[in-house]
Amino acid sequence: MAYNQRLQDHAKKIGRDVRVALVGAGQMGHGFGCQINRMPGLALSLVVDIHADRIKSLYGDIGVTNVVISDDPTVISAALLAGKAAGMTSVDHLAELPFDIVVEATGVPDIGAQVAYSCLLAKKDVAVLNVEMDVTIGPLLHATAVKGGAVYTVCHGDEPVEAKVLVDFARDLQFEIIAAGKGKNNPFEPLSTPDTVRDRAVAKKMNPKMLCSFTDGSKTMTEMVALANTTGLQLSKRGMFGPPASIKTLQDVFALVEDGGIVDRPGVVDYCTGDVAPGVFVIVRTDQQYINDELNYLNLGKGPYFALYRPFHLASVEAPLSLARAILDREPSMSAPFLMAEVVSMAKKDMQPGDVIDGIGGYTIRGYADIALDAKADKLVPIGIIAKAVVTKPIKVGDLITYDQVQVDESSEIVKLRRLQDSLGLTYGPAK
């Protein structure tokens, strides 16, 4: 049965709609909130954002004008229990409130860490649109959810989850997976900053920092690392290849080297530029000749390599499907018990001792994908914990930043949780 009917049946069973709390009412969060309002059985009950105007704007777009806005948890609890729409400008006390599932959509790793971990400790379900946070402390959040009987999931809509669906499909059908990945949407400008993309961002009604994280490659690196982590596939190499490819040539470009492609071994994650964006793909092959002939008959190509391709991802619009799966099936759409890959930090400018690093989508660093154990061996700093780090040794543009070059902000929640994850042996595999 489709989630549409099951959500309505669930609402009848519990006597009310599922109460959804949303943290972050920016572009992604706003789109998510508008979509939630269209799905019977789910109710946008609480919106948290540091800007009260954004809370009011989101509720206004879904036709809700009577909103209780307060940072007093007693007031907000009473509003939620009375079925009223509510808003807060602080995440303090969030985990104490009577909602069913929280969606973290800020895109800020430190805030995401605080929200996700506190709510999971309170045994509340957590869904995130914050992949930057997930690739940093996802294994800890996964383990915390399992221990508490809650669900922790990355949401549908971004490329990692949609590519994972294709990977699962291919594995179910016993295909050999050669490669999996996505098409990159924006031109690759590795040294771009919020200033260099500002005009384009304004034209697209985007935050310049968000667009910068796309153009400098941080977002693509993060998404492909997330795909590797959730599927257990390996990163193709440090930084990946990122070749040009088209929908028609995917299976040729991502064939094995001995067959004219770029892939040196089966089972890797990479991305490409070209008309594949905004889609995701999996390249497969089979050793059964009759199956090969069937796929040829079905116009998937001559073989032995075939491309399974989804031509779109709907970002926040399809994200609520992950809430339905969490609530009804008690399953995550995407999570990772340990890291196959890591997003490390590459300098976008020369820096000297005393300089302070800003963060993802900023002026000083960009994300760079690496094999997790290689990143560990080289003592590279994950980009998710580098915001507000102070430079202690000179750094050159293009350097992969190491722990002995910076002092990370130990007061940061995500730094504390990454330390905890490492100490528990969760980062690079199960504790032995």
- Taking only the tens place, the pLDDT of each residue in 258-304 is 999 999 999 999 999 999 999 999 999 999 999 999 999 999 989 99
CATH code: domain of residue 397: 3.90.1210.10
Residue 12 shares a structural domain with residue 149: yes
- Residue 431 has a pLDDT of 45
Residue 181 shares a structural domain with residue 266: yes
Please give the mean pLDDT across all residues of the chain: 96
- The mean pLDDT value for 386-392 works out to 98
SS3 212: helix
Domain carrying residue 352: 341-423
Residue 168 shares a structural domain with residue 227: yes
- Taking only the tens place, the pLDDT of each residue in 55-90 is 999 999 999 999 999 999 999 999 999 999 999 999
Residue 156 has pLDDT above 50, yes or no: yes
- Residue 368 has a pLDDT of 98
Residue 81 shares a structural domain with residue 215: no
Residue 88 shares a structural domain with residue 190: no
Residue 109 shares a structural domain with residue 166: no
Residue 393 shares a structural domain with residue 287: no
- Taking only the tens place, the pLDDT of each residue in 126-152 is 999 999 999 999 999 999 999 999 999
Whether residue 116 lies inside any domain: the answer is yes
Structural domain total, the chain: 3
- Residue 430 has a pLDDT of 58
Residue 137 shares a structural domain with residue 262: no
CATH code: domain of residue 54: 3.40.50.720
How far apart are the C-alpha atoms of 401 and 383, rounded to whole Å?
Answer: 9
- The mean pLDDT value for 218-227 works out to 97
Whether residue 334 lies inside any domain: the answer is no
In Å, how far from its chain's centre is CA 69?
29
Q: Residue 241: which region, alpha, beta or left (left: phi > 0; alpha: psi -120 to 50)? A: alpha
Residue 146 shares a structural domain with residue 8: yes
- Taking only the tens place, the pLDDT of each residue in 3-22 is 999 999 999 999 999 999 99
Residue 432 has pLDDT above 80, yes or no: no
Q: Which two tokens stand for residue 4?
A: 């549409």
Query: Cα dihedral sign for 290, 291, 293, 298?
Result: positive
Residue 389 has pLDDT above 70, yes or no: yes
Residue 149 shares a structural domain with residue 91: yes
How far apart are the C-alpha atoms of 320 and 303, rounded to whole Å?
Answer: 37
- The mean pLDDT value for 402-427 works out to 97
Whether residue 260 lies inside any domain: the answer is yes
End-to-end Cα spacing for the chain: 41
How far apart are the C-alpha atoms of 208 and 214, rounded to whole Å?
Answer: 10
